[in-house]
Structure 1
Amino acid sequence: MNKQALVAAYIFIITVGGVTNKLAYQIKTEGLPDYGPHNFRKPWFMVLLMFVGMTMSYPVYWFMSAQQQKVAGPPKKQEPWRVYALVFVPAMLDLIGSVLSFTGLVYIGNSTALMLGSTIILFVAVNSYIFLGRRFNGIQMSGMFVVFLAIMIIGKAASLSAEETSSSSSAAEQGLGIFLCILARFVNSIQFVVEEKMLGDTSLEPLQVVGTEGIYGLIVTACVIMPIAASIPGDDVGHVYENTADSVLMLHNWTLDSILFLYLLGLWGLNALGMMVTKHLGGVFRAVSTNLQSLFVWLIDLGLFYGVGTGFGFPVGEAWKGQGSWLQAFGFVVLVSGTLTYAYGNSVQSAAISKLPSKAHSLKEALLDEFSPQTVNAHLSRVRAGSIDSFAFIMNEDDMEIEAL
């Protein structure tokens, strides 16, 4: 495996996915003939595409399984349908969190939304402490505190930017966008805990879970949510919440189609390449790459705003907003420090786990000697998935804390 090529491919593809999130909203084109050119601000349609991208995990899983069978022999026994039915619950949580995030992105800058995504560290930690009985070392606690400070700084920077510039979103709308994005991460954190609690003792591979969630989400969004959104009052064309017919007609614009295709490509890369990244480069690099994504997306958006300008006939990208942007840059530096500290704490904890005595001298056997199989399987599953939301935790056994960790 060429690690340099893997690094370049992974960072490139997640950056493309990050840029196109907001860029799609900025594209102005015609939909329904009575309303003229207007922006493609369609949160539910973006959620639909997200679930399409998640279902694309299954072809990746089938390919990887076929390759493994050549080496390891026949595939393992399939899980019963009840296990796949359980995936419906986290899929619906994913749906709620995603639409909150896409709606919040309407009102705030792309870079701000990506940086606020780091609140997932705090929410997952709290939920795992409460519901899964997990504990953290001092390094992890320090990292979480620094991340919290960074989020406060970035939030203040966003409100300051709204006051200093003639942004398309008012200070109140910026505040709403920040709230929705943070709330989305809270819902996602519940989703991850539910996945671990309900699916931790199954043999479903991470890509199977992602693909199954995508199928459920796609069906519910297309068959239930979008028809409702097209019939209730709202601010979209036709005075409805989101006009699906208008969304489909807007897809006749090749620029918009290209951006949405790149968005799907970025989502596929997050799911497919993420496994290889964690396997060959480790979890610390995942923390670094997440911050690099935020930085590169911000730089590209600045380049689009000042380089392309109104070349499409309308502004794209993100402007530099004086003092607010300087404060955001400072918050980003603090955020990087916090996430790297937290990732280092995870590494220290994982190293301590690996030293636990085990007859089989394997990490999983060592963990199984000390902790419940449900939690262990969930943890190892998330690490194999290469998820940016995977963390190393230690449980207390009979309420006795393991001081060495």
Structure 2
Amino acid sequence: MEERALIYSFMGSYLIFGAGSTIILKSMDESDYIHPYFQCATLFLGELTCLAIYYLIKFHKNTQSRKNSYKVLQTNDPDSPRTGAYKKYGLFLFAIPAFFYWIAASLMFLGLILSAASVYQMVRGIISIFVTAYSVLILKVTLFKHQIVGICFLLLGIILVSISSLVWTALSAKYPLIGIILLICGQFFAAGVLLCEEIYLKQLDVEPLQAIGLEGAFGVGFSLIFIPILYFIPCNYENLCSHGSLENGYYAFTELWDTKLLLFWLGSLFSFAIVYFTGISTTKYTNALARSTIDTCKTLFVWIFSMVSEWEEFVILQCVGFLCIVFGTAIYNEILVIPWFGLKQSVEARRNTRNTANRSSSTSKVSSIEKEKKEQSDL
């Protein structure tokens, strides 16, 4: 009973703070706090707190002398050859996804300034398409029929949402076309981050919570380098710039003397920290259905709040696009299995392929352990 309550608390926090982070950021934008790069640094500070949480859990585990008290989402494969760059540079390799995520987050926050908050949430779904493309081109992953159908519905939904935002411009959307382009570009880089994380978690002896914290640490470092550089880049576009510069870190701090903005900033920092921790905990303890359902509810919460706050109005075409996104995501993640057109067989074929790969991996691990025990006994 206690474990179930803990899981529900993770899911609820992920939903509330996930939607809340978008609402808070958009509220800051509507208050003319135009500092997307400083907000990006705030995001990485939130990630960095996951590293503190990781070491607190590790410390608790060590003091209690309890093995496996903290289950990881995914551990490294003992048969994975930690050679070359993985062995030489180790955890410093997380600077690479941190760099790409810094670019992605900056573009997304710029897109949020220029777009409606609900559009920001919905267009971010295009990351699934980019991740799939990277997986096929780089990891040589086989794409099944139901995944292609899911991607088509997802792409159709994003197109409809984009068209609706251009035809019926929301009050909070300053330049929706540029905003959507920036959001799509941001997801292009964000998909590369996910690909790097997938590779590193298999090759490096690192836990997901630790990996997020490391990304946060490197991201904060990049922010300390880039934000001063952006100060010297002149920019006079009112909705994209800060006091004549692409980013003015000094004004970003001084404007926080306003009590409302300070509360917004602290709220965003706290929300980012909670979202990353509860997000990975939700993934660990639940399944794709739960995570997908929560992500859909986050979009609904942001959309409803935006309409109540009169940031935007209800548009039927956007609703149709949203339903297409949900439908496509459900098919792609095998939450919804269509029994026609060979889609059910496609799902079964993918599951069989995955189970075969898992059995092969398990057999390989057992063989590795037995070989290690034999070598120890010989000594």
Q: Secondary structure at the match of 2:235?
A: strand
Residue type matched to 1:257 in 2? L
CA deviation after TM superposition for structure 1 residue 276, in Å: 2.3
CA distance 1:166–1:287, shift in 2 (3 Å): closer
Q: Secondary structure at the match of 1:234?
A: coil
**Residue 57 of structure 2: aligned partner:** 64
Distance 2:243 2:335 in 1: 52
CA deviation after TM superposition for structure 1 residue 335, in Å: 0.9
**Residue 83 of structure 1: aligned partner:** 90
For structure 2, list consecutive stretches of 5 or more residues without a partner in the other structure. 76-85, 338-346, 367-379
Q: Deviations over 1:360-385 (max 9, x none)?
A: xx68516879xxxxxxxxxxxxxxxx
**Residue 11 of structure 1: aligned partner:** 15
Aligned equivalent of 2:148, options 141, 144, 147:
141
CA deviation after TM superposition for structure 1 residue 167, in Å: 6.2
State TM-score, norm by structure 2: 0.80
**Residue 232 of structure 1: aligned partner:** 233
The answer (yes or no) to whether the contact 1:140–1:345 under 8 Å persists in 2 is no
CA deviation after TM superposition for structure 1 residue 116, in Å: 0.5
Distance 2:45 2:128 in 1: 26
Residue type matched to 1:134 in 2? V
Distance 1:74 1:166 in 2: 50
Aligned equivalent of 1:262, options 258, 261, 267:
267
179-188 or 347-356, which deviates more: 347-356
Distance 2:50 2:88 in 1: 19
84-93 or 233-242, which deviates more: 233-242
Residue type matched to 1:120 in 2? I
CA distance 1:271–1:353, shift in 2 (3 Å): farther
Correspondence list, 1:44-59, <5 A: 44-59=37-52
Distance 2:141 2:294 in 1: 26
Distance 2:256 2:360 in 1: 49
**Residue 372 of structure 1: aligned partner:** none
The answer (yes or no) to whether the contact 1:233–1:239 under 8 Å persists in 2 is yes
CA distance 1:258–1:353, shift in 2 (3 Å): farther
2:195 is equivalent to residue 193 of structure 1: yes
Residue type matched to 2:229 in 1? I
Identity %: 21
Distance 1:272 1:167 in 2: 30
CA deviation after TM superposition for structure 1 residue 282, in Å: 0.8
Aligned equivalent of 1:120, options 124, 127, 131:
127
**Residue 205 of structure 1: aligned partner:** 207
The answer (yes or no) to whether the contact 1:55–1:215 under 8 Å persists in 2 is yes
CA deviation after TM superposition for structure 1 residue 199, in Å: 5.1
Q: Deviations over 1:224-274 (max 9, x none)?
A: 211121122112454222222111111011211111222122211221112
How many residues align? The count is 333
Residue type matched to 1:234 in 2? C
CA distance 1:168–1:114, shift in 2 (3 Å): closer
The answer (yes or no) to whether the contact 1:356–1:366 under 8 Å persists in 2 is no
Distance 2:34 2:20 in 1: 19
Distance 2:172 2:15 in 1: 30
2:142 is equivalent to residue 152 of structure 1: no
The answer (yes or no) to whether the contact 1:120–1:189 under 8 Å persists in 2 is yes
CA deviation after TM superposition for structure 1 residue 191, in Å: 2.1
CA deviation after TM superposition for structure 1 residue 197, in Å: 3.6
Aligned equivalent of 2:324, options 323, 334, 349:
334
2:291 is equivalent to residue 293 of structure 1: no
The structure in which a higher percent of residues are helix is 2
Distance 1:9 1:100 in 2: 26
**Residue 372 of structure 2: aligned partner:** none
The answer (yes or no) to whether the contact 1:86–1:199 under 8 Å persists in 2 is no
**Residue 33 of structure 1: aligned partner:** none
Q: Deviations over 1:278-329 (max 9, x none)?
A: 2332122111111111110111122223xxxxxxxxxxxx121x6xx22111
**Residue 41 of structure 1: aligned partner:** 34
65-74 or 229-238, which deviates more: 65-74
152-161 or 260-269, which deviates more: 260-269
2:264 is equivalent to residue 242 of structure 1: no
State TM-score, norm by structure 1: 0.75
CA distance 1:277–1:237, shift in 2 (3 Å): closer
**Residue 178 of structure 2: aligned partner:** 176
The answer (yes or no) to whether the contact 1:98–1:184 under 8 Å persists in 2 is yes
The answer (yes or no) to whether the contact 1:353–1:366 under 8 Å persists in 2 is no
CA deviation after TM superposition for structure 1 residue 148, in Å: 0.8
Distance 1:281 1:195 in 2: 20
Distance 1:107 1:176 in 2: 7
Distance 1:364 1:346 in 2: 28
Larger RCO (CA within 8 A; separation ≥ 6): 2
CA distance 1:299–1:366, shift in 2 (3 Å): farther
The answer (yes or no) to whether the contact 2:201–2:207 under 8 Å persists in 1 is no
For structure 1, list consecutive stretches of 5 or more residues without a partner in the other structure. 28-38, 306-317, 370-405
Q: Deviations over 1:44-85 (max 9, x none)?
A: 110110111110111221233234443217999xx9782122
CA distance 1:6–1:243, shift in 2 (3 Å): closer
Q: Secondary structure at the match of 1:232?
A: coil
CA distance 1:65–1:297, shift in 2 (3 Å): same
Q: Secondary structure at the match of 1:90?
A: helix
